[in-house]
Amino acid sequence: MKTRAVRLYGKKDLRLEEFELPPIGEDEILARVVSDSLCMSSYKASSQGSDHKRIPDDIAENPIIIGHEFAGELLEVGDKWAHKFKEGDKFSIQTALYYEDGPVGILSAPGYSYKYIGGDATHVIIPNEVMEKDCLLIYRGEGYYPASLAEPLSCVIGAMHANYHTTPGSYVHKMEIVDGGKMAILAGVGPMGLAAINYVLHREDRKPSLLVVTDVDQARLDRAASIYTVDFAVSRGIDLHYVNTGDVEDPVKELRAISGNTGYDDVFVFAPVRPVVEQGDAILAFDGCLNFFAGPGDPHFSAMFNFYNVHYAYTHIVGTSGGNNDDMVEALNIMGKGLDPAGLITHIGGLDAVAEATNNLPHIPGGKKLIYTHIDLPLTPIADFEKLGESSELFRELALICGKNKGLWNVEAETFLLNYYHKL
DSSP string, 221-275: HHHHHHHS-HHHHHHTT-EEEEEEGGG-S-HHHHHHHHTTSS-EEEEEE-S--HH
Q: What does the alpha-carbon distance between residue 136 and residue 131 come to, in Å, rounded to a whole number?
A: 6
Half-sphere exposure of 18 (CA within 13 A, CB side): 4
User: Residue 186: what pLDDT?
Assistant: 98
User: Residue 54: what pLDDT?
Assistant: 87
Band the pLDDT of 99: cuts 50, 70, 90.
Answer: low
Tens of pLDDT, residue by residue over 124-164, are 999 999 999 999 999 988 999 999 999 889 999 999 999 99
Going from the C-alpha of 277 to that of each of 269, 317, 386, the distances in angstroms are: 6, 10, 39
User: Residue 139: what pLDDT?
Assistant: 92
User: Residue 168: what pLDDT?
Assistant: 82
Topology of domain 1-148+340-424, per CATH? Quinone Oxidoreductase; Chain A, domain 1 (3.90.180)
Q: Are 163 and 175 in contact (CB under 8 A)?
A: yes
How many angstroms from the chain centroid is the CA of residue 397? 28
Tens of pLDDT, residue by residue over 45-81, are 999 999 988 899 999 999 999 999 999 999 999 999 9
Beta bridge partners, 242, equal 213
Positions of CATH 3.90.180.10 in the chain: 1-148+340-424
Positions of CATH 3.40.50.720 in the chain: 155-319
Band the pLDDT of 103: cuts 50, 70, 90.
Answer: very low
Q: What does the alpha-carbon distance between residue 97 and residue 329 come to, in Å, rounded to a whole number?
A: 15
Specify the range with the lowest mean pLDDT, choosing from 157-161, 169-173, 197-201. Answer: 169-173
- Neighbour count for residue 249 (Cβ, 10 Å): 6
Q: Are strands 264-269 and 284-292 parallel, antiparallel or unpaired?
A: parallel
Asked whether the predicted pLDDT for residue 322 surpasses 80, the reply is no
Q: What does the alpha-carbon distance between residue 234 and residue 219 come to, in Å, rounded to a whole number?
A: 23
Nearest in space to 30 (alpha carbons), one of 113, 133, 124, 132:
124
> Per-residue pLDDT averaged across 402-414, rounded?
95
Topology of domain 155-319, per CATH? Rossmann fold (3.40.50)
Tens of pLDDT, residue by residue over 15-34, are 999 999 999 999 999 999 99
Q: What does the alpha-carbon distance between residue 302 and residue 394 come to, in Å, rounded to a whole number?
A: 47
Q: Are 310 and 284 in contact (CB under 8 A)?
A: no
Tens of pLDDT, residue by residue over 282-316, are 999 999 999 999 888 788 999 999 999 999 999 99
